[in-house]
Amino acid sequence: MFYMLNMRVISMNKIKISVIIPTFNRNNLLKKSLKSLSEQSLNRNEYEVIICDDGSYESAVTIVKEFENKLNIKYCYHSNKGYRVALARNEGIYLAKGEICAFIDCGMIVIPEFLENHLKLHKKNNNNILHLQSCVQDFGCST
């Protein structure tokens, strides 16, 4: 079973970047990631966040709804049939409207310039694949 919930209609502006976050029973960590994404220096109409739930029994919908007025956010869910994080990420790619996809793990807390820096580096490097470890802060969040 797969379903998708589009929490907010995105404006007519072109989405530059889609942030894809797979999750499984990590609502507290998801909330921290979404909070950091809601504080980005990039205009929120220029990016979207896609939460890909890998069959959680701890519904992430309530967490996602908390951010529907702060982020352009989508939520997709598929039944729990074992660890399928790659499938969850691929579903996020399928739903993405951005020119670029950025993947972060559930629980990552990104700096306010994360998405802006990501876009700048893509332009500078002719849209090659990037790995931006320096743009992430590790606060030792436990699961």
Confidence tier at 137 by pLDDT (50, 70, 90): very low
The string of pLDDT tens digits covering residues 92-121 is 999 999 989 999 999 999 999 999 998 988
Identify the pLDDT of residue 128.
63
Identify the pLDDT of residue 121.
85
Residue 31: name the closest of 53, 62, 55 by CA. 62
Please state the pTM of the whole predicted model.
0.80
CA pair distance 131, 75, nearest whole angstrom? 24
Burial class (CB in 10 A: 0-12, 13-18, 19+), 34: buried
CA pair distance 113, 39, nearest whole angstrom? 9
CA pair distance 1, 126, nearest whole angstrom? 38
